[in-house]
Structure 1
Amino acid sequence: MRPLNTVFGELTRGCRQCLLGTKSVLFITGLCPLNCFYCPVDRDRFGRDVMFINDVPVKQYPDDIIRELDRAGSNGLAISGGDPIVVVDRVVDLVRILKDLYGQKFHIHMYTHALNLSEEAVRKLAGSGIDEVRIHAINPTQLSNKLGLIRILKDSGITLGLEVPALPRFEDNILRVAEVLINNGLIGFININELDVSPANINNLVRMDYVPGPDGSVVGSLDVGVKLASEVRRRWPWINVNVCSSRSKDLAQIGARLFRISLRSSAGGEFIIDDGTVREG
């Protein structure tokens, strides 16, 4: 059986929290001006300004978010989308609220596509107190005129990394993206995710001659991720690289979080199995 994660170097704090189940996940908006062929976001979310915390709909902001963080006993939050940078004012507001409520050690990271970076949004984010930003780009042309903006985030003290899907046949482009960011001293880590198949992207993936596997990921994607990670470490041995499998998300990250929630909420006469499911004793 393959490992859930293949790590070269050290995991970032955000990744460690996810694997331990101590970080909740906020889908802060479905808005994104891009239409990446591999985007797995469900069509009932993509393009809509909706929020979900651990897949629970957020109807009352920020109360529902805080309530779920407390229920899960989380000590951190991952902010995804869509692209959170599209609603940067909401991100900044939420970071302030959560840091005031839980303290500065409450770790918050978010994802954004390089193409969506603007000077106004970046300057707001740079002063927000967010801990970590993961930049997405699969082609060096997507970094055109963006390095100065990424530098603003870096100089503000935010930990920066590159996060990409393991796309077969895009290995050279992804390595060139890494080269640009690393040679400019902008990132300290790279996360490479096994490419998930979903109803939203399956037709696009098949048109690209990718083969959906029985485990819900693209056949060969994980191997591509490990090869990419190995090459990154060969060229830049000081860069931390994590290859995250689909099983890691399902079993480790979500499973560990559900296990923690069940531990905190189970009643007498109930017992919790490894996947976090509660059963009657």
Structure 2
Amino acid sequence: MLNPLPLSPLETRQQQLIEANRLEYGYRYDLLNFADKDRLATAKAERRELLQWLEQHAAFGYAGTKVDCTSLSPGCRHCGDGGWSCLFVNGRCNGQCFYCPTPQDDSGPPVTNGLAFIDPDEYADYVAKLGFSGVSISGGEPLLTPDLSLSFLRAVRKRCGEKIHLWLYTNGTMLTADLCSRLKDAGLDEIRFDLGAVRYNLKKLRLAIGSIPTVTVEIPAVPEDEELLKLKMVEMAEAGVKHLNLHQMRLTPHNFAPLTARGYTFLHGEKVTLLESELCALRMVRFGLEQGIPLPVNYCSFTFKRRFQLAASRRRAALSICGSSESVTEPGFLRTLTATDVSYSETALLQSPSYRAPFDKIVLASGRSLYLERRPLSLEPELSEDELTALQDGKPPERLAGFERIESGLADYF
């Protein structure tokens, strides 16, 4: 009997991701309709054709994980550049979107990256001390608590001045002309509507046109709504919408039932995503360009979120703790390089230290301390002379690539 051929590094990584997906969903994993060999081949061919066309007519950015980057909204630029802080001002929503990835019944305090902020001035000081260039207010539905949302907007604007870009996410159902005026007076630069909650009705969105400087629509790419969205793109452009952002839908334990009931095809990866959603988004970008619709469409892939948003969070913490003998890599890891070996650490910003790793403190004006913890990673390989030279020249050996470079391109289909 012949021994099976050893797996390549890519195949090994894919098997690890499949097992992680299986572990996350347990017995329900077998209920998922993953793409078989034939469906994968068809999907790869379609995506390849779409990407080849888009490469000639659109701008790819962020290592090929985001398209079209020709005219991104200001908030998207701050996010992509790593300068974004998102405050979830509440965890409650009045919408019933089937694709929502999380429960919307949390009445806890405002939170960002696991840090709770009850006092708007304290959050504004955190934003200033960490050097963020953009802040978004999200939920839940932040307009369910308008006074709370406004208090955070005002505090950040007062503390950080005009240099900070402020935006807010909403389904629009609670928006009024008076509230638009109050948001404008609080310094809001951009408002983003998830119109999926109202079946793409633009009535409430129109209240913001001419009041808030940038009006953006940000929705998941729902495959069965593709033809409706094509019609709505024209309506959005005529209404004065500046940007349309399309997200890739993903599966979570919370939306498992409604997504599986719709017969979608799922893809393995760092998290389980929807095949049809990515293809729908790419077709929509192409459609807008082919038709000359004056509405920039941006596909924000789940791959972008996993690679760039996580890297930005790591990098911000790492830069705050980086020593003179260290450097921060593109994915945001702290690198310590000696004459013979290299080691990496990951940093985390915490409300309280774990006491399992070294940490530094950031003291806010209120007297509250936040803790920057340095978590050593196990890898400490010795380097050959050639590897050391290559690393210093910005050409890391393959075994270190994940610590040194953000992987390029959209996620593989497997």
Please give the range of the TM-score, normalised by the shorter of the 2 chains.
Answer: 0.7 to 0.9
Instruction: Could you tell me which runs of 5 or more consecutive residues in structure 2 were left unpaired when the two chains were aligned.
Output: 1-47, 52-63, 335-344, 346-375, 381-414
Q: Find the aligned partners of 1:266 and 1:218 in 2 and give their Cα distance.
A: 38
Provide the rounded CA distance (Å) in 1 between the counterparts of 2:276 and 2:207.
36
Residue 88 (str. 1) matches residue 146 (str. 2): yes
Q: Which of 84, 90, 100 lines up with 1:29 in the alignment?
A: 90
Q: Match for residue 135 of structure 2? A: 77
Q: Which of 282, 292, 300 is the matching residue for 1:244?
A: 300
**Distance in 2 (alpha carbons) for counterparts of 1:257 and 1:263:** 10
Q: Are positions 1:150 and 2:198 aligned together?
A: no
Q: 2: CA distance between counterparts of 1:202 and 1:141?
A: 21
One-letter amino acid of the counterpart of residue 221, structure 1: S
Shift of the alpha carbon at 1:17? 0.8
- Contact 1:84–1:91 at 8 Å: present in 2 too? yes
CA distance in 2, matches of 1:245, 1:256: 16
Once the two structures are overlaid, the 10-residue window that deviates more, 164-173 or 260-269, is: 260-269
Segments of 5+ residues of structure 1 without an aligned counterpart are none
**Which secondary structure does the structure 1 equivalent of 2:275 belong to?**
coil
CA apart distance, 1:264: 1.8
Q: What is the 5 A alignment of 1:94-133?
A: 94-133=152-191
| TM-score (normalizing by structure 2) | 0.60
CA distance in 2 between partners of 1:277 and 1:52 (Å)? 28
Moved more, 162-171 or 4-13: 4-13
Distance in 1 separating the partners of 2:312 and 2:197:
34
Task: Give the equivalent residue in structure 2 for 1:11.
Answer: 72
Aligned equivalents of 2:77, 2:117: Cα separation in 1:
29
The residue aligned with 1:38 is 99
Q: CA offset at residue 39 of structure 1?
A: 0.3
Q: 1:236 to 1:113 in 2, by over 3 A?
A: farther
* Alpha-carbon displacement from aligned partner over 1:55-94 (angstroms, at most 9, x marks no partner): 2231432255235424532111122211112122222221
Partners of 2:176 and 2:296 lie apart in 1 by: 27
Greater RCO, 1 or 2 (C-alpha within 8 Å, sep 6+): 1
Structure 2 counterpart SS, 1:156: coil
TM-score (norm 1): 0.87
Q: 1:224 to 1:28 in 2, by over 3 A?
A: same
| Deviation per residue, 1:158-185 (Å, 9 max, x gap) | 210111101111112222332322223x
Counting matched residue pairs gives: 274
Secondary structure at 1:133 match in 2 = strand
Is the 2:78–2:134 contact (alpha carbons within 8 Å) kept by the matching residues of 1? yes
Task: Go from structure 1 to structure 2 and tell me whether the alpha carbon gap of 1:112 and 1:222 turns closer, same or farther (over 3 Å shift).
Answer: same
Q: Does 1:177 align with 2:238?
A: no
SS at match of 1:138: helix
Pairing 1:264–2:320 present = yes
SS of aligned partner of 1:103: helix
- Aligned-partner Cα distance in 2 for 1:155–1:31: 28
Q: Secondary structure at the match of 1:170?
A: helix
1:219–1:256 Cα change, 3 Å: same
Aligned mates of 2:174, 2:229 — CA distance in 1: 18
Cα distance change on mapping 1:208 and 1:64 into 2, 3 Å:
farther
Deviation at 1:250, TM superposition (A): 1.4
Shift of 1:277: 3.2
Change over 3 Å in CA distance of 1:140–1:89 after alignment to 2: closer
3-state DSSP of counterpart to 2:193: strand
Instruction: Give, as a single letter, the amino acid of the residue that structure 1 aligns with 2:280.
Output: V
For residues 98 and 115 of structure 2, the distance between their equivalents in structure 1, rounded to whole angstroms, comes to 26
Q: Deviations over 1:35-64 (max 9, x none)?
A: 2100012x3xx2223345442231432255
Partners of 2:166 and 2:188 within 8 A in 1: yes
Query: How far, CA to CA, are the matches of 1:166 and 1:193 in structure 2?
Result: 6
For residues 160 and 329 of structure 2, the distance between their equivalents in structure 1, rounded to whole angstroms, comes to: 30
| Structure number, greater radius of gyration | 2
**Range with greater deviation from structure 2 (191-200 or 121-130):** 121-130
1:232 matched residue in structure 2: 288
Write the deviation string for residues 215-240 of structure 1: whole angstroms up to 9, x where unpaired. Answer: 22212311110111221233344321
**Counterpart selection for 2:247 from 174, 177, 193:** 193
RMSD, aligned CA: 2.5
Percent identical across equivalent pairs? Answer: 23
Tell me the SS of whatever aligns to 1:79: strand
